Amino acid sequence: MRRRDFITLLGSASAWSLSARAQQPAMPVVGWLSSVTASDPFGMSLLSAFRAGLKDADYVEGQNVAIDLRWGEGQYSRLPTLAAELVGKRVDVIMAGGPPAALAAKAATQTIPIIFTSGEDPIRLGLVATLNRPGGNATGVNLLDNEMEAKRLGLLREVVRGAATIGVLLNPKFASFDAQSKDVREAARAGGFRVIVLTAASANEIDEAFATFEQAHPAALLMGSDPYLYSARKQQIALAAHQSIPAMFSGRAATADGGLMSYGVSFTDAYRQASVYVSRILKGEKPADLPVLRPTKFELVINLATAKQLGLTIPSGLLSIADEVIE
């Protein structure tokens, strides 16, 4: 082969290679917008569950899908900026974890699909028109978590029998604050006991709230369901232990960290549910056509070691229905 012909052949091969690469579809990008903290094992467990769900749908990060991570670190004021960054990058879909993240994503775009997890009613929040036919660019999983505060109070009173007063800690900056406050007060009236509702949206305010609880001497505490408060659960667990007061939380991680009890949805299972919808969006379906899902798994977790330290005996009936008992 003559040298000129060889060079021409090489040039043609290179041009074909560049053309072939140019014609390959770009790897889809999922924007991850979370209300919680990247360094928290709880936050990483949610991401791991999400990745596992995508893998089950044949989407493997780094191979045929990318995930662009944004963490709110429990500071809801950061979420609008983080959402705008994802929109600016033109991600293919946004996975928004928690009502604050979902609201920030919804405010940032009316076109990019959004899959959310929300403990609050997504209709009330304005995320969807109806549960069966969302109608816009958002759908996801309604965790029903914020509707369980009354149930948590009931379970707590089964352990601390005859409790006349229960302290409740809520985040006033959380979208569901008003509904949560109303629910716990109505539950108290119906159950014939008193609640002391205090608020906190920072570490200092949590300390101040517990100082007030120490003065008021409630028989037990309920830590409201909220991404920030949950990310600060170790501070609350330590303060409750210092005051020798039983505390109920919304998720398993708090009980594993030393809280007395938790009851709520399995967050990791909910994120796997959300990943199914993300994969369907990537395959061409529209959020408007995907009904809002309900959680499929709920968990009652009891820490017997903490109960022993508090001098409490957990009723056998409650132990029998617990999904997990930590010894």
Tell whether 173 and 130 lie within a shared domain: no
Per-residue confidence (pLDDT) for residue 139, from 0 to 100: 98
> In angstroms, how far is the first alpha carbon of the chain from the final one?
79
**Domain tally, the chain:** 2
Residue of higher predicted confidence among 140 and 20: 140
- 15 domain-assigned: no
Tell whether 139 and 288 lie within a shared domain: yes
Q: Is the pLDDT of residue 9 over 70?
A: no
Task: Give the whole-number percent of the chain exceeding pLDDT 90.
Answer: 81
Question: 257, 306 in Cβ contact below 8 A?
Answer: no
Torsion 136-115-53-175 (CA) sign: negative
3-state secondary structure of 2: coil
- 162 domain-assigned: yes
Tell whether 187 and 306 lie within a shared domain: yes
CA distance 128 to 122: 6
Per-residue confidence (pLDDT) for residue 106, from 0 to 100: 97
Per-residue confidence (pLDDT) for residue 2, from 0 to 100: 53
CA distance 156 to 167: 11
Cα angle 107, 139, 82; round to 5: 35
Tell whether 137 and 278 lie within a shared domain: yes
Tell whether 150 and 57 lie within a shared domain: no
Between the alpha carbon of residue 109 and those of residues 105, 118, 244, 246, the distances in Å are 6, 18, 47, 43
Per-residue confidence (pLDDT) for residue 144, from 0 to 100: 81
Nearest to 319 by CA among 178, 155, 193, 108: 155
Q: Is the pLDDT of residue 32 over 70?
A: yes
CA 309 to chain centre: 30
- 132 domain-assigned: yes
Q: Is the pLDDT of residue 311 over 60?
A: yes
Q: How confident is the model at residue 166 (pLDDT cuts 50, 70, 90)?
A: very high
Q: Is the pLDDT of residue 6 over 60?
A: no
Average pLDDT over residues 261-286: 95
CA distance 107 to 125: 12
Tell whether 314 and 244 lie within a shared domain: yes
Q: Is the pLDDT of residue 154 over 80?
A: yes
- 22 domain-assigned: no
Between the alpha carbon of residue 172 and those of residues 35, 181, 210, 241, the distances in Å are 15, 9, 16, 24
Tell whether 94 and 174 lie within a shared domain: no
Between the alpha carbon of residue 55 and those of residues 42, 97, 272, the distances in Å are 20, 19, 10
CATH number of 186's domain: 3.40.50.2300
Question: 318, 155 in Cβ contact below 8 A?
Answer: yes
Q: In which domain, by residue range, is 304 found?
A: 146-265+299-326
Per-residue confidence (pLDDT) for residue 22, from 0 to 100: 46
238-259: pLDDT as tens digits:
999 999 999 999 999 999 999 9
80-127: pLDDT as tens digits:
999 999 999 999 999 999 999 999 999 999 999 999 999 888 999 999
Average pLDDT over residues 253-271: 95
Average pLDDT over residues 272-291: 96
Tell whether 118 and 197 lie within a shared domain: no
CA distance 294 to 32: 21
Tell whether 65 and 101 lie within a shared domain: yes
Question: 157, 193 in Cβ contact below 8 A?
Answer: yes
Per-residue confidence (pLDDT) for residue 24, from 0 to 100: 52
178-181-184-188 Cα dihedral, nearest 10 degrees:
-120
Q: What amino acid is encoded at 310 in this protein?
A: L
Average pLDDT over residues 207-236: 95
Tell whether 100 and 175 lie within a shared domain: no
Single pTM value for the model = 0.84
Average pLDDT over residues 211-236: 95
41-71: pLDDT as tens digits:
999 999 999 999 999 999 999 999 999 999 9
Tell whether 129 and 58 lie within a shared domain: yes
Q: Which residues have C-beta within 8 Å of that of residue 305, sequence separation ≥ 6? A: 326, 327
Q: Please, which contacts does 56-63 make with residues 24 or more away whose CB atoms are closer than 8 Å?
A: 56/272, 56/275, 57/275, 57/276, 57/279, 58/279, 59/279, 59/282
Tell whether 178 and 319 lie within a shared domain: yes
CA distance 177 to 226: 9
Q: Is the pLDDT of residue 15 over 70?
A: no
